[in-house]
Structure 1
Amino acid sequence: MSDLIRSLRLFVRLNEEGSFSALGRRQNLSHTTIARAIGDLEQHFGVRLFQRTTRSQALTADGERLLEHAGAILDQMGLAEADLAGAVAARGLVRVGVTTALGFHYAQRLGSVAAQHPDLMIELLIADWRDAADHGGLDLWLWAGDGRSAAGSTLLGQLPRVLVAAPEYLAHHGMPASGDDLIQHQCLTYGYAARAAPWPIDGRELEVSGFLRANSSEAVLRAMKGGLGIGLLPRIQVEEDLARGLVMQVMPDAEIPPIPVMLATGFRGMRMPMRARVVMDFLEAGFPV
């Protein structure tokens, strides 16, 4: 049975890596060893698992079915190992959708997860999602809430926002002191709707405009640092630049509501695999405070 479990693990990892050579490099295994494991599985189940050519490989229909079963079997084995050994084991790929600012924040902190779970692989898909429906193929995803919750989602936390600009921009255009001053400036915005969302400043919804609008906060950040205008960005995205004096906070006493960040999972109504549970715990514990 142990050989069968090992072969199933190699089968799952082979599908994730995409080729014998990639899996061999990552696992330090020979092509022959991997091929023997796949051959043993095909003989055991009496099916062909991969369609292989000299340039590519793809799962057969039977391979797709076994992949689903293999994932469940390995998850159950992990649970049994954790229960009996008193340790948490996580294996396999977890695909996580994150906003730009949080994606960079979490990426810097993945070392502890990698050290504790060497058989775990995390794929970060980074974009400034605002639509809870944007989650195709993801195991976990974060999105900026707007008062509406996707079914099964939970509030992960709140991200404070600040107004920031490059010193050279402020030296040339002056420092705004109020919302009325602010709307006279170049305000760099990001979003997806047909019109830019107003900026909520001191209880007002300010209709701002500027030279640049983007669907990425990172693009706004770089344009702002280049002296193009004022940005309204998550504090975690600019706190290092603020500390180094590369950017300056604008209207520091202004009241700006934080961004609610929601956490959703693709396992609603199903038992969450251990690999996803470990990553979800990491996202919750590592949320900036």
Structure 2
Amino acid sequence: MTDLVQALRTYADVAAEGSFSRVAERSGASHTTIARRIDFLEAHFGARLLHRSTRRLTLTHEGLRLLDHARTVIEAVDNARSELGDRKSARGVVRVGVTTALGLHYAGRLADLRARHPELRIEFAVADWQGELRETGLDLALRVGDPAPESLFAEPLGLIRRSLVATPLYLGQRGTPDGADDLREHECIAYGYGPAPSVWDVGGVQIPATGAFRANSSEAVYRAVTHDLGIGLLPDIQVAEAIAEGRLTRLLPGIAIEPLRLSVVHHFPGRQMPFRVRAVLDFLHRAFPGAGDA
């Protein structure tokens, strides 16, 4: 049984990496050893698992079916080891879909997670618009607003405050707005894409964001704003440093702007969540902006 679990773990790694060589290099085993473990699985289950060529590896239909079972076995073994062993350390790969601003925020705090779980590997899929979990192979994904209907389970993370900002140069050329309605006369750099118009709710006033540029990436909007193109409505965690340094100016600070409501979604009911995923979920809560503030 030990040999079978080890072979299944190797097979899952090969499926993820698409290469015997990369798995061998990462695990410290030889290329021949990796190949023999795959041969063992094909003999054990009586099915061909991989299409092998000199250029790439692809999974057969049977290989795809076995991969789901392999991951289930690996997670069960790892969970038992973590819960029953002397040390509470997670191992394996956890894939997380994160928004741009929060992805950068969390990436700067991964040392804490690494110190707690040195055998854990984290992969971020950074995109402000996330697809469905099952289609993208993610274990966890951040969602802005109400969680998507496909999400079976969701946990609230917290609120992200936003601010209207512009550069001193832009304001010197176009003037500083005194109220929400004044924004109609400015270049409003919107977050969005497609035919639907972008509208900002500024203190209950609906302002069409009709600048010369918009994007479905908060980082692209941030870059455009910091290069004097117009006014942006951006998360505070993205603009706080630039405001402190005087590169951006916060506008209309006395007007309330609805914060972004963040949740994390997953497909694991209750105690069925793998320990490796739970370790990352706890990190997302622990390192959420403002979570450690008194």
Tell me the TM-score normalized by structure 2: 0.89
Task: Give the aligned partner of residue 22 of structure 1.
Answer: 22
Question: Secondary structure at the residue paired with 1:13?
Answer: helix
Task: Give the aligned partner of residue 104 of structure 2.
Answer: 104
Matched, 1:230 2:220: no
How is 1:171-182 mapped onto 2 (pairs within 5 angstroms)? Answer: 171-182=172-183
Over 3 Å counting, the alpha-carbon distance change for 1:76 and 1:146 in structure 2 is: closer
Task: Give the aligned partner of residue 207 of structure 1.
Answer: 208
Task: Give the aligned partner of residue 221 of structure 2.
Answer: 220
Matched, 1:277 2:275: no
Task: Give the aligned partner of residue 136 of structure 1.
Answer: 135
Distance (Å, rounded) in 2 between the aligned partners of 1:229 and 1:110: 33
Question: Secondary structure at the residue paired with 1:287?
Answer: coil
Question: Secondary structure at the residue paired with 1:227?
Answer: coil
Could you tell me how far 1:14 is from its partner in structure 2?
A: 1.4
* Gap regions ≥5 residues in structure 1: none
Over 3 Å counting, the alpha-carbon distance change for 1:123 and 1:256 in structure 2 is: same
* Gap regions ≥5 residues in structure 2: none
Distance (Å, rounded) in 2 between the aligned partners of 1:278 and 1:212: 40
Higher mean C-alpha displacement, 97-106 vs 221-230: 97-106
Question: 2:90 touches 2:275 (CA, 8 Å); kept in 1?
Answer: yes
The AA in structure 2 aligned to 1:33 is T
Could you tell me how far 1:209 is from its partner in structure 2?
A: 1.9
The AA in structure 2 aligned to 1:201 is V
Distance (Å, rounded) in 2 between the aligned partners of 1:159 and 1:193: 25
Matched, 1:84 2:84: yes
Could you tell me how far 1:146 is from its partner in structure 2?
A: 5.4
Task: Give the aligned partner of residue 250 of structure 1.
Answer: 251
Question: Secondary structure at the residue paired with 1:93?
Answer: strand
The AA in structure 2 aligned to 1:163 is L
The AA in structure 1 aligned to 2:197 is A
Could you tell me how far 1:83 is from its partner in structure 2?
A: 2.2
Distance (Å, rounded) in 1 between the aligned partners of 2:284 and 2:249: 29
Could you tell me how far 1:147 is from its partner in structure 2?
A: 9.2
Could you tell me how far 1:192 is from its partner in structure 2?
A: 3.6
Question: Secondary structure at the residue paired with 1:72?
Answer: helix
Distance (Å, rounded) in 1 between the aligned partners of 2:184 and 2:31: 63
Task: Give the aligned partner of residue 64 of structure 2.
Answer: 64
Higher mean C-alpha displacement, 204-213 vs 108-117: 108-117
Question: 2:51 touches 2:58 (CA, 8 Å); kept in 1?
Answer: yes
Distance (Å, rounded) in 1 between the aligned partners of 2:47 and 2:2: 20
The AA in structure 2 aligned to 1:68 is D
Q: Deviations over 1:83-125 (max 9, x none)?
A: 2214334333322211111111111112232343344332211
Matched, 1:194 2:195: yes
Q: Percent identity?
A: 46
Task: Give the aligned partner of residue 93 of structure 1.
Answer: 93
Task: Give the aligned partner of residue 266 of structure 2.
Answer: 265
Question: Secondary structure at the residue paired with 1:284?
Answer: helix
Question: 2:92 touches 2:120 (CA, 8 Å); kept in 1?
Answer: yes
Aligned length: 288
Could you tell me how far 1:274 is from its partner in structure 2?
A: 2.1
Over 3 Å counting, the alpha-carbon distance change for 1:199 and 1:135 in structure 2 is: farther
The AA in structure 2 aligned to 1:275 is R
Question: Secondary structure at the residue paired with 1:111?
Answer: helix
Question: Secondary structure at the residue paired with 1:153?
Answer: strand
Could you tell me how far 1:151 is from its partner in structure 2?
A: 5.1
Higher mean C-alpha displacement, 243-252 vs 145-154: 145-154
Question: 2:133 touches 2:139 (CA, 8 Å); kept in 1?
Answer: no
Could you tell me how far 1:148 is from its partner in structure 2?
A: 8.2
Could you tell me how far 1:6 is from its partner in structure 2?
A: 2.0
Task: Give the aligned partner of residue 286 of structure 1.
Answer: 287
Question: 1:132 touches 1:143 (CA, 8 Å); kept in 2?
Answer: no
Q: Deviations over 1:27-80 (max 9, x none)?
A: 232211211222222333333222211111112233223222221111111122
Question: Secondary structure at the residue paired with 1:278?
Answer: helix
Distance (Å, rounded) in 1 between the aligned partners of 2:230 and 2:81: 55
The AA in structure 1 aligned to 2:103 is G
Q: CA RMSD in A?
A: 2.4
